[in-house]
Chain A
Amino acid sequence: MNFVIPSFAPAIPEMVLLGLISFILVADTFWSKRYQFATYYATQITLVVVGYLILSSFATTQVITFDGSFVRDSFADILKLFTILVSLGIFVFSREYLLQHKFYSGEFFILGLFGVLGMFVMISAHNMITMFIGLEIMSLAMYAMIALRKDYGQGLEAAMKYFVLGALATGMLLYGFSMIYGATGSITFPEMAKVIASGNVDSVVLSFGVVFVVIGLAFKLGAVPFHMWMPDVYQGSPSAVTLYLGTAPKIAGFAMLYRLLEEALPGLVKDWQSLIIMISILSMVVGSLIAIVQDNLKRMLAYSGIGHVGFMLLGVIAATPEGYSASMFYVIVYALTGVAGFGMIVALSKTGNEFDKISDFAGLNARNPWLALMMLVILFSMAGIPPFIGFWAKIIVIEEVIKAGFTWIAVIGVIMAVISAFYYLKVVKAMYFDKPEDESPIETTSSGSNWAVSFFALALFVLGLVPSSLIDLCYQSLKVM
């Protein structure tokens, strides 16, 4: 039996990331006594280093290694770079929040980094085992992060909910994986695709497998009807953790969706397309309608996030490279907007006030006009009003779904967009037209948070004026392959 040493080069960013995490994990025990922020800075430096490594060896072609279980391509690199950008923002906001709420500890950042590692593995997974491992690394880190604040009952409850339902979803996914493996006799994505294309498969088992996989994916993405955990977990988690849950994992979730549906199961388009259509429409409808009655902003953003997943899936329905590119663009935009939006909540929450109710935002314009303007940009971008980048995200997925011949789905989508505009407007209304309970000027927890909020919000505006580079990036990364 001859053993070929695989090429490690494509996975260097992941390996460096793991190495640095391990180092920080050990070092934190010493640092935490002497230097309060050492772990935080080490975390940010780690992200920058890994980002640099990816950029410097940016993949232009597809490289597969580790016996077909790991893939590096421009699709993966772009998603990883945005995961890093989003995570950098998350940690900037979190540091002050953790300090203010008195549970600052190095573990938060270390767990966060582990989560990022899991996302990277998911993004680059090229067989079902790697994907599963990546998913679990990410999920375990998140279960722990939610429960990190030990004196916070809501958080513990959220962690339990997330753990139990997450485990259920994992089970579904694994069940689906095993059925597909049983039918195709393969775990590597292209081989699965090949076997399915050949037609020598038990289609019943395969169909069941696909259904379970799609259910598992929908659970992880928080799409209706498997969304029940999202609002509770978002609301129950400390805001810094909500910020984490609501943004970066969406990018990885989309990568998982793409790898499974497009690379492994393109032959079964007919089977999963109708499921995705249903999930997409339900998510848009439920997300938009139920968000209206929320008065907790985190909960509202959770429902709006469900709606956004529905929109993101519009591109997947088309099942063409252009469709996936549109969805990829959507998910990146959503993650950036999410960081800005949840980041705003985190940046404003001080001891004793989570600043997560819509009424907390009343009169923000009088208390801090700059932050109110930034929040206005974020909300209108989420609503898909031009000239902000969220508009382009919506228009492009709608374009793809019309091109695929589903104009009626596009019509449902835009009607839901109008309905969802209502609850974003409610927040704008509170900020600009309502009288605040407390008229004193308000500042963010730190100047770092202020800069980060401004950076992400202005990015939504500037990218909205010149969206073509980001759109091109997404399209080229999928056309190449």
Chain B
Amino acid sequence: MLSSYPILSTLVWLPIIGGLLVLFAGRNNDTVAKWLSLAVAVLTFVLSIPLWTNFDTTTAAMQFEEKVEWIPMFNIYYHLAVDGLSMPLVLLTTFTQVLVIASAWDVIKERVEQYMGAFLIMGGIMVGVFVALDSILFYVFWEALLIPMFIVIGKWGGPRRVYATMKFFLYTFFGSVFMLISFIYMYYQSGSFAILDFQAMQLGMTVQILIFIAFLLAFAVKIPMFPVHTWLPDAHVEAPTAGSVVLAAIMLKMGGYGFVRFSLPITPDASMTLDWLVIGLSLIAIVYIGIVAMVQSDMKKLVAYSSISHMGFVTLGMFVLYDILENTGSLQGAQIGMEGAMVQMISHGFISGAMFLAIGVLYDRMHTREISAYSGVVNKMPWFVFFAVLFSMANVGLPGTSGFVGEFMVIISSFKANLWFGTLAALTLVIGAAYTLWMVKRVYFGPITNENVEQLSDLNKREFAIMAILAVAVVALGVFPAPLMEVMHTSVENLLVQATTSKL
């Protein structure tokens, strides 16, 4: 029976132990480091598939549970499980992991074993974040992730990498320590560190507001929301391609996941009172950051800002529920918004990952990310441009791609909440199209004006495979999102009940 086999622990520890192994076995032997890493990543992904196939979509209860005493003195457990909110994110992580390792194959030449090892370790830690049900265990994974990312950006990054990596570390560390204080405070009140116990406990309004703000700091920095987003463009621009992919595809999702796992169920009354704050900041992100993206001359920076703008949809979709409830008296519209937010997270994982990989492909050949350095790439790299344009369209939210589904659902539900929210959110379709298509036009099409572009060669087999896999994912999710929504459905319903049940 599959349920008796500790599948979640395997997904956490296999890459971590594999990563340590790579660090030692791969020293002075890059081939061993690469193949071993790829083997571990692929094996992890394969082992994660039963999570999906054996998932019970009829219940909101936690599944594949594992629970062992860790620190009995403080009631801290090694407690892992998934529900419909976290399971897709786990799969996204294991899936992305394979592409990340593959994408770095020929690119990284220096200390390959450290690079590959760091990414494997990160993979295990990120799965840990999504499956931990004990808040301290969650926090340990959450913070531990900073260490390998710090090293990766600082060591293999661009010219201002040290500044960027310090900023990244300190911003995210600063955000999360307040979350830790909230955990400890709730432990002191409830005698348990279990996240589900936190969700069940009664909390007074003042306390809820304080805890909500502490959570908001942690998750807003991570996701990131305006005005604490400034670390992200720096980190992205300086990070190596694989680092950007992990940042955009998975790490940002940790912030969104925090909102649904902690903020909404634990502090529902404070969420209701302060939803205007989150919605306001989300709309600013969607509109203002979208406009900022338009004026970027660096492709990576453009996609980084576009990520922030798209993450605004996630928080918007999550927090419009109170306004919808007030307007319509029913949660039906809210369900669409919440599911839209979740779909948006998964979809953005694919799209942003693909966009950064595409930029990485160009950067490997030309060593510049300046938009103005390119023109007419399509003449030399037709296959590449095919994929790149597909991903760009998905980024814009073209129907038929995954980008459309999530954004559309969020926009619909924000119209139900408030005409203005909907209108402002829908503006992104225009702004997003503007900055993305403008970049596409300037980089991929037009005449070749630069002789370096003349030298470009099209995708090799490895790059083609990575792009093709992502393209399939983006289109599949766009055409047929039902299986994903089915997985989340019951859990989202349950979340909405929690988020609207007063704890006072």
Contacts and interface: CB of A to CB of B under 8 A. Distances in A.
A471 B73 contact: yes
B139 interface: yes
A422 B166 contact: yes
B376 to A, nearest CB: 37
A217 interface: no
Interface string A421-432: 110010011001
A227 B154 CA distance: 35
Given A386-B144, A425-B169, A471-B74, 11 more contacts: A365-B155, A399-B184, A399-B187, A402-B185, A407-B185, A418-B170, A421-B169, A421-B173, A425-B166, A432-B151, A433-B155
B138 to A, nearest CB: 10
Interface of A: 365, 369, 376, 380, 385-387, 391-392, 395-396, 398-399, 402-403, 407, 410-411, 414-415, 417-418, 421-422, 425, 428-429, 432-433, 467-468, 471-472, 475
B181 A467 contact: no
B161 A433 contact: yes
B153 to A, nearest CB: 10
Nearest to A429: B162
Contact of B154 (A415, A432, A468, A475): A432
A385 B170 contact: no
Contacts of B111: 369
B177 A380 contact: no
B174 interface: yes
B72 A468 contact: yes
Q: Which 8 A-B pairs have the closest CB atoms?
A: A386-B140, A414-B177, A468-B71, A433-B154, A418-B174, A386-B143, A399-B184, A403-B188
B178 interface: yes
A411 B210 CA distance: 12
Contacts of A387: 140, 144
Contacts of A472: 72-73
Given A410-B181, A414-B181, A468-B70, A402 B136 contact: no
B180 interface: yes
Contacts of A392: 71
A467 B74 CA distance: 11
B305 interface: no
Contacts of B74: 396, 399, 471
Interface of B: 27, 70-74, 111, 114, 136, 139-140, 143-144, 146-147, 150-151, 154-155, 161-162, 165-166, 169-170, 173-174, 177-178, 180-181, 184-185, 187-188
Contacts of B147: 376, 380, 385
Given A414-B177, A422-B166, A471 B188 contact: no
Contacts of B174: 415, 418
Contacts of B146: 385
30 contacts: A385-B143, A385-B146, A386-B143, A386-B144, A387-B140, A387-B144, A395-B184, A396-B74, A398-B180, A402-B185, A407-B181, A407-B185, A410-B184, A411-B181, A414-B180, A417-B177, A418-B173, A421-B170, A421-B173, A425-B150, A429-B154, A429-B165, A432-B155, A433-B154, A433-B161, A468-B70, A468-B72, A471-B74, A472-B72, A475-B73
B216 to A, nearest CB: 15
Contacts of B188: 399, 402-403
A433 B139 contact: no
A395 B136 contact: yes
B129 to A, nearest CB: 12
Nearest to A392: B71
Interface centre among B143, B144, B180 (most CB of A within 10 A): B180
Contact of A467 (B71, B114, B143, B165): B71
Contacts of B139: 386
B174 to A, nearest CB: 5
A399 B75 CA distance: 13
Contacts of A428: 150-151
Contacts of B144: 385-387
Contacts of B178: 411, 414
A242 B27 CA distance: 35
A282 B270 CA distance: 34
Nearest to A385: B143
A369 B111 CA distance: 10
A396 B139 CA distance: 14
A422 B170 contact: yes
A399 B186 CA distance: 10
A220 to B, nearest CB: 30
B19 to A, nearest CB: 13
Nearest to B110: A366
A403 B151 CA distance: 36
A391 B140 contact: yes
B91 to A, nearest CB: 25
Contacts of A403: 188
Nearest to A464: B140
Contacts of A417: 177
A347 to B, nearest CB: 21
A213 to B, nearest CB: 31
A338 B147 CA distance: 21
